[in-house]
Copies of this chain bind each other. A is one copy, B any other.
Amino acid sequence: MRELYELCGSSPELVFSPYCWRVRLALAHKGLDFVSRPVRFTDKEALAFSGQKLVPVLRDGGTTVHDSLAIFHYLDEHYPQPGLLGGALGESRLLLIDRLSAQDLLPALARLLVPRVMACIDPVDRDYFRQSREKRMGMSLEAFAAREAGQAQLARALQPLDAMLQGQPWLDGAAPAGADFLIGGFLFWAWTLGEQPWPEDSPTGDWFRRLLAFCEERQGPVQRATHR
């Protein structure tokens, strides 16, 4: 039995964490099925078995792995084909891409998505989410969620992706692999929360549709929040 512990909204089918989406996409890539174990922000005891408090956690037979890139590593080791990382060199470059994309793409989307996260999570999670994020950002959620600044930062973050995807269908070349799932996770975060803050008619927009189709072909329809 393979279980994926992943963050959910007030509906347990609404899975939106970008790091959990990386793993869902990696499992789709490998053709591995899994049972979803939805976890709310304040359900930390559900993860106690993993010795830490963050999703995603993959439980595969007797093995427990947490952290999206550690899970990629585990999957490539135990189910080598098709590959995610591209060996030690590819893994190191993926880590650098992750650190580089944490400078604009992650904070830009976080700014734009904060109100949607508040709307989509279970009411019991809202105080936790507000307090933990306000502590991390050093400002109120409302001050952080500056829409214009977020849109400008996102436009900047999309430039290198658009440039790459003008020349090739996937970030990793002719076929999708680790970089597509690593960065794609951020776009699934927005999309599952009911947003799509990138231009539909753009190389990144086309790529996202390919990635969504890739995922839905293998794992069925992706649950998406609707605006009320």
Residues of chain A touching chain B, judged by Cβ–Cβ distance below 8 Å, are: 83, 86-97, 99-104, 156, 159-160, 163-164, 168, 171-174, 177, 179
CB-based nearest B residue for A92: B173
Decide: B86 and A164 in contact? CB cutoff 8 A: no
Give the complex CA separation of A197 and B44 in angstroms.
44
Decide: A92 and B172 in contact? CB cutoff 8 A: yes
CB-based nearest B residue for A175: B89
Residue from the set A87, A93, A94 with the largest chain B CB neighbour count within 10 Å? A93
Contacts of A90 in B (CB 8 A): 86, 89-90, 93
Contacts of A87 in B (CB 8 A): 86
Jot down 13 A-B pairs with beta carbons below 8 A, ordered by A.
A83-B89, A86-B87, A86-B90, A88-B173, A89-B90, A89-B173, A92-B164, A92-B171, A92-B179, A93-B94, A93-B172, A95-B164, A100-B101
A192 to chain B, nearest CB (A): 24
Contacts of A156 in B (CB 8 A): 103
Decide: B99 and A160 in contact? CB cutoff 8 A: yes
Decide: B96 and A160 in contact? CB cutoff 8 A: yes
A7 to chain B, nearest CB (A): 24
A69 to chain B, nearest CB (A): 12
Residue from the set A89, A94, A174 with the largest chain B CB neighbour count within 10 Å? A89
Residue from the set A90, A97, A100 with the largest chain B CB neighbour count within 10 Å? A100
Contacts of A95 in B (CB 8 A): 164
Contacts of A89 in B (CB 8 A): 83, 86, 90, 172-173, 177
Contacts of A168 in B (CB 8 A): 92
A101 to chain B, nearest CB (A): 7
A210 to chain B, nearest CB (A): 16
